[in-house]
Amino acid sequence: MNYKLTWFLLFFISSVTAKAQIDITQAITHAQNQTKLIIQEVGQAQTPTQPDLLLPRSLTSTNELKLIPAKDWTSGFFPGNLWFLYEYTQDPYWLTQAQSFTSLLAPEQFNTETHDVGFKIYSSYGAGYRLTQSASYRNVIIQAAKSLATRFNPKVGCIQSWDSSNKWPFPVIIDNLMNLELLFAATRLTGDSTFYRIADSHAATTLKNHFRADYSSWHVVDYDPVTGQVRQKNTHQGYSDQSAWARGQAWGLYGYTMCYRETKNPIYLIHAQRIASFILNHPRLPTDLVPYWDYDAPLIPNEPRDASAAAIMASALYELSTYSSQGSTYRAAADKIVTSLANLYTSPKGENRGFILLHSTGHKPAHSEIDAPLIYADYYYLEALLRKKETNIAPQLNGISNRTINVGQNLSFTATTSDANANQIKTYSLVNAPAGATIHSATGAFSWTPTQAGTFTFFVQVTDNGSPMLADVQAVTITVTPIPTYTLTVTTIGSGTVTKSPNQASYTSGSTVTLTATPASGFQFTGWSDDAAGTTNPLPVSMTSNKTIVAQFTAVAGQQVVSFNLINADSNQPISTITNNFVLNLVNLPDNLNIQAITNPTTVGSVVFNLSGAQVWNSTESRVPYTLFGDSGSSSNVWVPVPGNYTLTATPYSAPNGGGTAGTPLIIPFSMINSVASSALAHITAYPTPTSNGYIQVNQIIPWEGKITYILKSTTGAQLTTGEINLTEPTNTLKFDFSSQMSASGVYYLQIVTEKQKSSVVLMRL
């Protein structure tokens, strides 16, 4: 099957939607009228003999209102409808009704006997929290996620749907994808990534085992709970084990679109697009895009439709259109579906006990709710209308820099956000934050006073309250140092000595050290430089940071080294003058180098060189040219430097071999780097980041080819591992197992080098 929408379907969708656009205001007004009626019907249908029947689900075969208890899987949808109407109208009446009906589901937060706690709680309390930021609603969501997480089997990698039976020891149904949104929300609200990891595992395992080659899905996959192996693949509500149950395909489309939103895993986006292609290209999809209850039902076109599947598809397609390059196609399809539902599948005003949509199919094999209104059809229809009305755009966190502080020092900053949807509520939260760290949910004000040293990487997240809720996340690394002690480094230029009192390796913050400079014979003290200035002698130094102080001694009269030239050792030609703190990039230099001292006068008795830092070298040159590494007659000896920091000192003497009287030396610190310009780096991405186990997948739009060298480094630049890959064919994806090298939480850097490019990407480990 071709998984791109055919030209004919594109033309058909766009031409039909152009002729019959839905009036959203009119549709919402109709929904309000119907919902007010259903509220009245609920009050009349409730009886003292069945006090637990509280919420509407469907109509009976005699057109009576079918009420359900809070434990029914559909119980959260009617409160969700009320929240949608409040969101659209801001009418206090709908707020009061939404709060009242939502409260009926409170006991379900503790229900560990069903996977559908996600349906029940997130469509009700989740919507309520999104619109009100109620702390009590937040607590219910978190507790419900804890209840749902108890059904996760790490061996299987999934949340168990129904309880074990002789037929299915560990059944997982495609519907279960929808419950994962509750877990993702719990990680946002608590900062505990456990919920996220469970949801991601379930989505990945379902993607692997639930889908056929044409990207249709089975309804039920049964696992061995001990080994995790698949036992069988069946249906429960579809026509047959090999058929494509319409609502199941819609659950898959919606579920993987949502999973991409929450994880940004491109595999989930690709899969959602493939499911969309299966549905929209299906030869038995009717022209109004409202599917039959099963795409393989034997009596099509004389089979019942399922408006609930269509409503789910529309809502999912509106969201998918914001992530996909085929966005206009998906939006046109969604427009066509909601137009069809509004014009052909809605109940007349005042009829059908207040339900909005007709012609859904609940469970045809069980002869239940066939060609009937269903409360969840109304829910996803209203959600689709809201998504059509306004496209939500994710907020963007403005840059938050990494920080270094001391133990016991308070760190405060305020996270700020840019958002095209200016009227939405923004909620800030932390994920994997260190103990004691807090962020104000409304203002983004962060505060933390660390009690121990270390490096702490966590995530600042901002979430809006649009439909769907969208978020942005940024990693922040805080380096906490012990209560500070500082070093004092004293060097000299010229001949002389400096004493420190007290003379210690380090000093506590705020202490005072006295420096006394004593010139050698023939020299005079001329002043302090670097972290001190002036000529005060002795000099009191307050230790508030690491300091380097240079004492300068000048020969009363005599010879001097005036400058250093970096030269090409192959041609003996000067490249540049090395000045104080000069930075040289090895990428731009010849391989073979040397350094020449320029003296005054031009010829002196000798020059004594001392190179320290990344490489150490001492030499004495008694003839022109005076070069650090000497020369062999007509050509300079070769120096191949390594990246790092250096200090070069050259002192002239009146006699050969460092004899006679010393003149004025020259001391110059400089650095060597090896850096390729960022514009030359190819853009690559890594997933997942953060990773929980060190397994990384790296993606690049332009395929890699041939021999690849990879290097993993720490934040200090230390090389953790390196290796080579010889590709036999081009690939856009590379997979690495850095579980050993990335065993600690934090930030790492991966460099990938080929003959044509050098690429880098930041990795994070939870």
Q: Quick: pLDDT tens for 376-399.
A: 999 999 999 999 998 888 899 999
**In this predicted model, what pLDDT tens digit does every residue of 316-340 receive, in sequence order?**
999 999 999 999 999 999 999 999 9
Per-residue tokens: 242: 């090999």
What is the rounded average pLDDT of the residues 248-257?
A: 99
pLDDT confidence bin for 558, thresholds 50/70/90? low
Which listed CATH number (1.10.10.10, 2.40.260.10, 2.60.40.1930, 1.10.1740.10) goes with 679-765? 2.60.40.1930
**In this predicted model, what pLDDT tens digit does every residue of 569-600 receive, in sequence order?**
888 888 888 988 888 887 778 878 999 998 87
What is the rounded average pLDDT of the residues 520-536?
A: 86
How far from the centroid of its chain's Cα atoms is residue 329's Cα? 28
Residue 352 has pLDDT above 50, yes or no: yes
Question: For position 5, what pLDDT does the model report?
Answer: 43
Question: For position 314, what pLDDT does the model report?
Answer: 98
Choose the catalytic residue: 52, 91, 175, 222: 175
Choose the catalytic residue: 23, 72, 91, 116: 116
- Do 679-765 and 396-481 have the same topology in CATH? yes
Please report where in the chains the tokens 């002729």 appear, as a residue: 19
94 annotated to bind ligand: no
> Residue ranges per domain, the chain?
396-481, 485-555, 560-673, 679-765
Residue 61 has pLDDT above 70, yes or no: yes
Residue 124 has pLDDT above 70, yes or no: yes
Residue 576: how many other CB atoms lie within 10 Å = 12
Among 394-408, 473-487, 653-667, the minimum mean pLDDT is found in: 653-667
Cα–Cα distance for residue pair 351/672, rounded to 1 Å: 81
Question: For position 14, what pLDDT does the model report?
Answer: 45
Burial 337-361 (b: 16+ CB within 10 A, else e): bbbbbbeebbbeeeebbbbbbbbbb
Cα–Cα distance for residue pair 255/118, rounded to 1 Å: 12
pLDDT confidence bin for 129, thresholds 50/70/90? very high
Among 649-653, 657-661, 738-742, the minimum mean pLDDT is found in: 657-661
Q: In terms of C-beta density within 10 A (0-12 exposed, 13-18 middle, 19 or more buried), how is residue 457 classed?
A: buried
Residue 649 has pLDDT above 80, yes or no: yes
Residue 12 has pLDDT above 50, yes or no: no
CATH class of 396-481: mainly beta
535 annotated to bind ligand: no
Question: For position 6, what pLDDT does the model report?
Answer: 41
Residue 656 has pLDDT above 80, yes or no: yes
Cα–Cα distance for residue pair 70/78, rounded to 1 Å: 11
**In this predicted model, what pLDDT tens digit does every residue of 731-753 receive, in sequence order?**
989 999 999 999 998 888 888 98
Active site residue 116: yes
What is the rounded average pLDDT of the residues 4-9?
A: 42
Half-sphere exposure of 330 (CA within 13 A, CB side): 29
387 annotated to bind ligand: no
pLDDT confidence bin for 679, thresholds 50/70/90? very low
Residue 8 has pLDDT above 50, yes or no: no
What is the rounded average pLDDT of the residues 410-422?
A: 91
Is the CB of residue 381 less than 8 Å from the CB of residue 356? yes
What is the rounded average pLDDT of the residues 398-404?
A: 93
Question: For position 485, what pLDDT does the model report?
Answer: 87
Please report where in the chains the tokens 């006699």 appear, as a residue: 655
Q: Which range, 213-227, 603-617, 719-733, has the best average confidence (pLDDT)? A: 213-227
How is residue 40 annotated by DSSP? H
Question: For position 580, what pLDDT does the model report?
Answer: 87
Question: For position 4, what pLDDT does the model report?
Answer: 42
Q: Which CATH superfamily is domain 560-673 in?
A: Immunoglobulins (2.60.40.10)
Residue 467 has pLDDT above 80, yes or no: yes
Q: How far is CA 359 from CA 309, 375, 518, in A?
A: 11, 12, 100
Residue 479 has pLDDT above 60, yes or no: yes
Nearest-CA neighbor of 294 among 220, 243, 250?
Answer: 243
**What mean pLDDT is reported for the chain?**
91
**In this predicted model, what pLDDT tens digit does every residue of 80-115 receive, in sequence order?**
999 999 999 999 999 999 999 999 999 999 999 999
- The strand pair at 582-585 and 666-673 is best described as parallel
How far from the centroid of its chain's Cα atoms is residue 304's Cα? 43
Task: Quote helix, strand, coil % in the chain, to nearest 5.
Answer: 30, 35, 40
Question: For position 700, what pLDDT does the model report?
Answer: 86
Question: For position 688, what pLDDT does the model report?
Answer: 87
What is the rounded average pLDDT of the residues 230-247?
A: 97
pLDDT confidence bin for 681, thresholds 50/70/90? very low
Scanning 281-326, the segments in alpha helix (DSSP H) are 307-320
Question: For position 11, what pLDDT does the model report?
Answer: 43
Among 366-380, 385-399, 711-725, the minimum mean pLDDT is found in: 711-725
pLDDT confidence bin for 213, thresholds 50/70/90? very high
For 404, the 3-state DSSP assignment is: strand
247 annotated to bind ligand: yes
Active site residue 464: no
User: Torsion angle, CA of 626/632/634/640, rounded to 10 degrees?
Assistant: -70
Burial 582-603 (b: 16+ CB within 10 A, else e): bebebeebeebbbbbbbbeeee
175 annotated to bind ligand: yes
How is residue 664 annotated by DSSP? B
